[in-house]
Structure 1
């Protein structure tokens, strides 16, 4: 692990997908066909989104993941490099890249189906992958790749005093050994309810609550709540990933500062269509905080 510094080094281990986004007035019921109002192909995946979010929020980020050898792969790689994310640990696996089919209604709410593709083939970590994790200040993981790979990365991070931040989504049964290696968990309210007692093993837990903001619980049981800025919501896809990446980038500033920074980032991410396209920069987060934070006062509690 590196010494404390202004720019944290973050290793993100996770998924990268091409998001196939259809907009519609309302999402269909089972067996129903509705007409769409628009369509876009937008690079996404929880891992890639969080890597881009952390980079745009000011961190030095290396992405550890996999794409296929299909037509989507070059664009998926390009969106990372264009954002300044290091991609020397992005491997190519024969077959399709990951894809996500997303339907977004006029209220900005979405339904998502993910097909893992190359992400499912990320079954082992190379010596070079492990070296990146060991050298990082923070390892960020999710659960859209094999859990055994996440567990191996977390164990390696713990042995090198790299902080482990886990976004356990989609929710799955995780081995006790993995929970023991997690320093920070970021969940939404539904995931918090599903995981229940498992989260009590984690020293730092952040629960996102959409438009209501987010809550923090520390190792001493101390809690904080931060509201969310009011914005015009266009698409909530990727808002949680923007929150998580920004939180990781600001984590070394302390939980309160990181929580405020992440709430601003998550709110900004809902104001544009598409996951990676909507992720805010540090300058945009700063601008929102300059207007919003002075009015928070005792709302952070």
Structure 2
């Protein structure tokens, strides 16, 4: 495997629809904009990373249906190495999101065989040439297998710690979290954890990135904490996948040699821009666009400069 960044986790078949309003029972409405794509936390983050010009691979499972084949081909077309995506009998996850003009969003998601690779697959995965692994903790036991391999080979690892994963309890998550380079938390997960410094020290985390919705993100390390506000946005259309975009861009910029502050500013600018488009991946910027967003959002000499 020649990839630098390896993303491990879920794939879904995503359908995003913009509608004038959500229909009542036994009624229908017509969408005036739609987007069909591959989705899922791991897949989204992988695309965001690949768009930044970093060699990126995905380790995942899809069902043996037409949706799994479509999702795999879609990701390959986005520049993601899908050699690590395998097929298993069953259905690929489907996500349907409807977004009304008033901003109300409704999401329906099916669980399936494409949620997370099994532990035995992770024990045999080829990690040659991988410099960074990103995964979730929705399946703590499987994630722990990958984390143990990363620690043994000194590969940097980051975790997207979703609120659903916290339901497993911190003891179950500990083997996967221990010594992580970065743990990404959304607002709900941050609130559930509470004392981030104690949490970080307990698991010996090197850094924590807390996404803050339309307020940007905050980075916490042993050196301190810094918040990065988002640049001005022309419009907010859909926030789906913004956190995945942030994680993917942060990883890409870190692998490209950026310091944590520069990586976070690029990630926040990219995620904010993505919210101006329908769907999770519809507005993920490439590297040149991200550089322009950073320059326009934070002119030289303005804003925080160090941790």
Pairwise CA RMSD of aligned residues? 2.5
Output the CA distance in 2 between the equivalents of 1:160 and 1:53: 25
List alignment gaps of at least 5 residues for structure 1.
3-7
2:142 is the alignment partner of 1:149: yes
Output the CA distance in 1 between the equivalents of 2:301 and 2:194: 30
Residue of structure 2 equivalent to 1:238 = 241
Residue of structure 2 equivalent to 1:184 = 182
Q: Secondary structure at the match of 1:233?
A: coil
Output the CA distance in 2 between the equivalents of 1:67 and 1:152: 20
Residue of structure 1 equivalent to 2:259 = 254
Q: Deviations over 1:215-261 (max 9, x none)?
A: 110023x1111110121111111111111100010124111011101
Worse-matched range after superposition: 146-155 or 291-300: 291-300
Q: Secondary structure at the match of 1:246?
A: helix
Residue of structure 2 equivalent to 1:275 = 280
Residue of structure 2 equivalent to 1:224 = 226
Output the CA distance in 1 between the equivalents of 2:185 and 2:121: 29
Output the CA distance in 2 between the equivalents of 1:120 and 1:292: 36
Output the CA distance in 2 between the equivalents of 1:24 and 1:129: 45
Output the CA distance in 2 between the equivalents of 1:15 and 1:128: 18
Contact 2:163 2:188 in 1 (8 A): no
Output the CA distance in 2 between the equivalents of 1:56 and 1:261: 13
Contact 1:205 1:218 in 2 (8 A): yes
1:78-227, aligned counterparts within 5 Å?
78-108=73-103, 110-120=105-115, 122-126=117-121, 130-132=125-127, 135-143=129-137, 146-172=139-165, 173=168, 174-197=172-195, 198-200=199-201, 201=203, 202-220=205-223, 222-227=224-229
Aligned CA distance change for structure 1 residues 204 and 85 (closer, same or farther; 3 Å)? same
- Give me the TM-score of the superposition, normalised by structure 1: 0.87
User: Cα offset for 1:47?
Assistant: 0.6
Worse-matched range after superposition: 177-186 or 235-244: 177-186
Contact 2:236 2:276 in 1 (8 A): yes
Greater share of helix residues, 1 or 2? 1
Output the CA distance in 1 between the equivalents of 2:68 and 2:41: 16
Q: Secondary structure at the match of 2:95?
A: strand
User: Cα offset for 1:166?
Assistant: 0.5
Q: Deviations over 1:42-62 (max 9, x none)?
A: 321111000000000121111
Q: Secondary structure at the match of 1:104?
A: strand
List alignment gaps of at least 5 residues for structure 2.
none
User: Cα offset for 1:34?
Assistant: 6.9
